Chains A and B, each alone.
Chain A
Amino acid sequence: MSTAVEPSPSAPATDSPTARGGLRGYTQQWVDNVRGGDLGVLPIIIGIVAIGIYFQARNSNFLTAGNFVNLIAQMSPFAVIGMGMVFVLLIAEIDLSVGYVSGMGGVVAAVLLEPGNGQWPTWLALTAAIATGVAIGLFQGFFVSRIGVPSFVVTLAGLLAWNGVVLQVIGNKGTIVIQDKLVIGLANDNMSNGLAWIVLIASVALFLGVQLSTVYRRRQAELPNVPLSLIAIKTVLLAGIGIFVVEWADTDRGIPYVGLLMLVAYVFWTFVATRMRFGRHIYAVGGNAEASRRAGINVANIRLVVLGISGGMSALGGIVLASRLSSVDTSTGGGSVLLYSIAACVIGGTSLFGGRGKVSSAILGAVVIAMIDNGLGLLNVSAGTKFVVTGIVLLAAVTLDSLSRRRSEATGRA
């Protein structure tokens, strides 16, 4: 396993990890980065551990397998909506309509799946719901990208208008109960242990495959590589965490299907963001829109499509939300959905100023928010206290982001 570990050269250290080589060089590099203000996922991991310890100390039910399974279902709507929001934040825009667009997604799915003559096949109804979200996103994106209305205002108008549409569609019915098995099962049924293991093995294999193919390609191009031992350690760590999660959840009901949905969405959008030209251009537009325009990037189209993605992911999140509650009503998509989704991205480390962030930040942030929401629920505190605490955590996350940014500027890393 440690075949590739080379002794760290004693030559004067340079800034490049590849110049130093070996595991120790990488460890040192990481320590330097953290000191220089590039904190990575460190604060959020510490935050998750601290929150876990705190709530476990106050209520011993917090860290049980059953509650862990609950957490996965609770975080899922914010994680799904947040993954679309990340792209919007990356281009330094905002989408305030995601709450009620998610409501639209849930309502469209629920209405089309209402038992009776006009009932649509499940897959068609879900596709229509997501398409509705995409269409709304593109509609709003048109005003942002082609006419130049600030996204803040366009989506604020959307927030109001789509709330109105939800009210109109639901009308006097008050509540539409969802009876479709697939939709209900999304957040309420759990994967069998066998399926969970298949997903786990496939994920680890995918991770390892991507890492090794990168090493291979870089070797072909005669570029320096990360030590294989580092890849081995990461793979073992990932597999270890995965086995723990699968087995722990299995002592209760198992991992809900939304867990798989989040994983698939995460892998897909991470591929788009980091391995595709379109994703690269999103980061570029967020970093310097004028430079992107001069580089031949169609900035308006990027903005349009990104808002479309946000709309589509909101609608998908709305379906998840409807599945959790097994119904939609006039308040679907309201309340804390919008703010929790944005907060998830920001707490997870995506900058509000554009150009910096990852798809994974939506998931990590959603974990934190769900933990606080769930933990405070166990302590029987009021909804008011929940909002105050979540607000404080959000403020802390943004403050940390600003501080680390300042530190980055001071050390020239940014």
Chain B
Amino acid sequence: MSDQHLLELRAVDKSFGAVRALNGVDFHADAGQVMALVGDNGAGKSTLIKCVAGIYPIDGGDLLWEGQPVSINGPKEAAALGIEVVYQDLALCDNLDVVENMFLGRETRSTFRRLDEAKMERETMDVLKDLSVTTIRSVRQTVAGLSGGQRQSVAVAKAVLWNSKLVILDEPTAALGVAQTRQVLDLVKRLGEQGLAVVIVSHNMSDVFEVADYITVLRLGQNVAEFKRTETTQREVVEAITAGELHSVPGMHEEEGALT
């Protein structure tokens, strides 16, 4: 492994009142690789993502971007660094078409403050082509008419459009059928092949094993293991998720407030 990660978290802490959501968590993501973040409900996956996305400030530890310590205050700063998050609910406007959604909030304009529709449509088609998204027949149809897999593809393409370096996907296949899951997993693999760092949060072990290069396991807000996909088994990962060894047991040593 290279000595400098694109994104690195060192001993990050995050608490909500008495609840310690992240307890000395280490994490990293590297260009061209897919890192899976797995763990049971309440393990701290979402909290970790939201810290990286700038939604929650971290309480302790270090956040390094390209080797430099940074503090990310708000989604805009995350986006400025090149971090894009695709949340589970996708955040698309059903009444707008694919192009309008892709450029929402960052529309290209020409003279007289007019929207530059032709340019935006061209770029949308180029990005979809780069990602080999072929299932969307017209980029001028409204998102409401798209299938779950197509919507996910649009959301991912939207994240990629902005020269992002790190794309974080929160449960991208959770609501999809078999064929659509296939589409999205292929898309995730292509993101890695194109040199982006990808973090994928998932509960589905077969999905994780299909796309991930590395797997980080969280349990009760702590790191319990990191695996290289080629050197581990689903059974090993599931064991880590359910019974991985904790370096401190919540409620025993530090605070009286226990995790619920």
Contact = CB atoms under 8 A, between A and B. Distances in A.
Contact of A296 (B89, B92, B105, B142): B105
Interface in B89-114: 89-96, 100, 104-107, 109, 113-114
Given A277-B107, A287-B93, A291-B104, A221 B142 contact: no
B129 interface: no
Which of B105, B106, B114, B125 has most A Cβ within 10 Å? B105
Contacts of B106: 295-296
B226 interface: no
A16 B138 contact: yes
A288 B94 contact: yes
Interface of B: 75-76, 87, 89-96, 100, 104-107, 109, 113-119, 121-122, 125, 137-138, 140-142, 144-146
Contacts of B121: 218, 221, 223
A223 B118 contact: yes
Interface in A279-312: 280-281, 283-284, 286-288, 290-292, 294-297
Given A283-B95, A288-B94, A414-B142, A221 B119 contact: yes
Contacts of A412: 144-146
Contacts of A336: none
A276 B115 contact: yes
B43 to A, nearest CB: 24
A296 B76 contact: yes
Which of A14, A217, A222, A295 has most B Cβ within 10 Å? A295
A414 B145 contact: yes
A287 B96 contact: yes
10 contacts: A217-B118, A222-B122, A275-B114, A277-B109, A281-B105, A287-B95, A292-B104, A294-B75, A296-B105, A297-B104
Mostly, the A contact residues are: helix
Contacts of B138: 15-19
A414 B109 CA distance: 27
B101 to A, nearest CB: 8
Mostly, the B contact residues are: loop
A290 B91 contact: yes
B93 A292 contact: yes
Contact of A355 (B75, B76, B93, B125): B93
A356 interface: yes
A295 B100 CA distance: 12
Interface string A314-348: 00000000000000000000000000000000000
A414 B105 contact: no
A413 interface: yes
A60 interface: no
Contacts of A3: none
Interface in A217-266: 217-218, 220-223
Given A292-B104, A412-B146, 5 more contacts: A275-B115, A287-B96, A292-B105, A409-B144, A414-B142
Contacts of A16: 137-138, 140-141
A349 to B, nearest CB: 14
Given A276-B113, A414-B142, A414-B145, A220 B104 contact: no
A280 B125 CA distance: 20
A291 B118 contact: no
B148 to A, nearest CB: 12
